[in-house]
Chain A
């Protein structure tokens, strides 16, 4: 098989064996990236809520220069802490028994 390949690939084949011919975007990507993406997707509601709070804080401190608006961040922060503490901000299972019908 290696004989029919270009020089560089034949050399790689001699050193690494059949693994050298595996396409770059196949298994290694699938194995590592999907769980990482899954964990990120798991945390998206918490992340989006955090970004909403950050947006408000940025506007209050820098853009609008109205620090009183930081009060609007407090209930959301408490909610975010409750959510993270409940363990849903981080990786719960993919589907719990009643998760199908819930948002």
Chain B
């Protein structure tokens, strides 16, 4: 279909800049939610450490969408987990929270990955082949299952580290320093686990 017909059929054309803007504004709004509904301190540490994580996670350092997407996806997953799990039988169970956040991170990343892949927009990174194409990409809307495994791992590890540091009785300063300093190692650990599955 030529460009003119496409323009008539779809009056809103989403370009790469739209994707960039969507991720940046989405992250800002998620930050507003964290600031207002939880704590300013939480918002700063989550999105600050998420930015550090994003820096080491992606090689597209000049692209804000690649840097911010992990923090945004995992934040949304954690917020949704809290909403769903907090009211059920698993309320207060930190292990279930962390694992559910991992699963939900993959579910939330799926439509974003699918849209970005269709439009050749920038994503943080491609996952190594860990599922050996057992699940076809077409079954998941054009997203390789490896990507979902990677997002699930990122969600679990990122939120897991945050929870761990929050609950082992460290002071806020040490907790913050360790959280930020742990991000490069968290990326390495993610790579290590993906390598084990490969």
Contact yes or no, B30 A75, CB < 8 A:
no
Closest to B46 in A: A103
Contact yes or no, B42 A69, CB < 8 A:
no
Instruction: Tell me how far the C-beta of A61 lies from the nearest C-beta in chain B, rounded to whole angstroms.
Output: 8
Q: Does B197 contact A (CB under 8 A)?
A: no
Instruction: Tell me how far the C-beta of B188 lies from the nearest C-beta in chain A, rounded to whole angstroms.
Output: 23
Query: Which residues in chain B, 19-60, are within 8 Å of chain A measured between CB atoms?
Result: 22, 26, 29-30, 32-34, 36-39, 42, 46
Closest to B26 in A: A48
Tell me what chain B mostly uses at the interface: helix, strand, loop, or mixed: helix
Number of B interface residues at 8 Å Cβ cutoff, please give it. 60
Closest to A87 in B: B87
Instruction: Tell me how far the C-beta of B180 lies from the nearest C-beta in chain A, rounded to whole angstroms.
Output: 17
Contact yes or no, A68 B141, CB < 8 A:
yes
Query: Which residues in chain B, 149-198, are within 8 Å of chain A measured between CB atoms?
Result: 159, 162-163, 166-167
Chain A residues contacting B142 (CB-CB under 8 Å) are 66, 68-69, 72
Query: Which residues in chain B, 75-126, are within 8 Å of chain A measured between CB atoms?
Result: 75-84, 86-87, 91-92, 97, 101, 104, 107-108, 110-115, 118-119
Contact yes or no, A79 B80, CB < 8 A:
yes
Tell me what chain A mostly uses at the interface: helix, strand, loop, or mixed: helix
Closest to B114 in A: A72
Instruction: Tell me how far the C-beta of B107 lies from the nearest C-beta in chain A, rounded to whole angstroms.
Output: 5
A61–B141 alpha-carbon span in the complex (Å): 12
Closest to A73 in B: B111
Instruction: Tell me how far the C-beta of B17 lies from the nearest C-beta in chain A, rounded to whole angstroms.
Output: 13
Closest to A66 in B: B118
Instruction: Tell me how far the C-beta of B176 lies from the nearest C-beta in chain A, rounded to whole angstroms.
Output: 14
Instruction: Tell me how far the C-beta of B81 lies from the nearest C-beta in chain A, rounded to whole angstroms.
Output: 8
Q: Report which A residues bind B (CB closer than 8 A).
A: 38, 41-42, 44-45, 47-49, 51-53, 55-66, 68-73, 75-76, 79, 82-83, 86-89, 92, 94-96, 98-103
